[in-house]
Amino acid sequence: MPMTRDEARALFATAKLDYSILTMPRVQRLRTLINAKMKTSGLFKGEYRCRQRPILRPDYAEIRCKASYFDGREAITFNKDGFIGFAGWADEQNVQPVLSGFAEWVREVTKSVCSYEIGDWQCREGGYLWYAGDGEGYDPEDTSDICPCCRTKDFLEAAKEEAESCSSYSNCGDSGTGVDIWASAEKVALRANPVAAAKALQDLGVVAALEGDDSPEGYSVVLCNTQAKAIAVGQHTV
Ligand SMILES: [Zn+2]
């Protein structure tokens, strides 16, 4: 599916990236990814390529491109004013390799850029938290704790599922109900990544959390995140 330039810019912004990530190895990696997309696109008789050397200065980077009948045109420019330009000369079709290479690059950079930590827990590649307090490194197979900062929606989805299936828990001196699970996850997510959390809460809608009690069923259902539904309904009726 074709992507627009604005969608590509939005990817960069919502990943909370800024120009501080622009190092020569990263810009070269971006060049490699865009170049590969140009190659496989077959555009310009299969001669669409990035030029060899990207330019990187403080607060500025550019990659240029060429084909048989032109040279030195913009592939991508990170301008000083924060505006990212994508092949300004190109039409919707010819800009696609630039945009898809850029999108792939944003995904790659995002994987390694999250610096979230809480106590001795830190985010690792893939967006999972691991316990860094014992100096033993992490088990790549252990995917039990999703990072609330870079994978906010996944984190909240998992918490919703847990809150809706667990009426009470206790481990390591800590105990509570499904309602507590949801409330604490919501708080953690909003603190870790307020923008993504607000959006994810909207998307997830009402959470029917379980709360252990003395009733015959052993629990009751408490509706949480209800203001999200109210807002969503409001939007539909406007
Ligand atoms: Zn993370």
Render 85-117 in DSSP notation, one character per residue: EE-TT--TTTTHHHHHHHHHHHHHHHHHH---E
Task: Read off φ and ψ for residue 165, nearest 5 degrees.
Answer: -120, -5
Q: What is the pLDDT of residues 175-200, one digit of tens each?
A: 999 999 999 999 999 999 999 999 99
pLDDT at 49: 98
What spacing in Å lies between the alpha carbon of 121 and ligand 1's midpoint? Answer: 11
User: Predicted confidence band at 233 (pLDDT cuts at 50, 70, 90)?
Assistant: very low
What spacing in Å lies between the alpha carbon of 134 and ligand 1's midpoint? Answer: 20
Q: What is the pLDDT of residues 63-91, one digit of tens each?
A: 999 999 999 999 999 999 999 999 999 99
Distance CA 11, CA 20 (A): 16
78: how many CB neighbours lie within 10 A of its CB? 22
Distance CA 27, CA 63 (A): 8
Q: Kindly report the CA angle at 158 between 154 and 160, in degrees rounded to 5?
A: 115
What spacing in Å lies between the alpha carbon of 149 and ligand 1's midpoint? Answer: 5
What spacing in Å lies between the alpha carbon of 155 and ligand 1's midpoint? Answer: 10
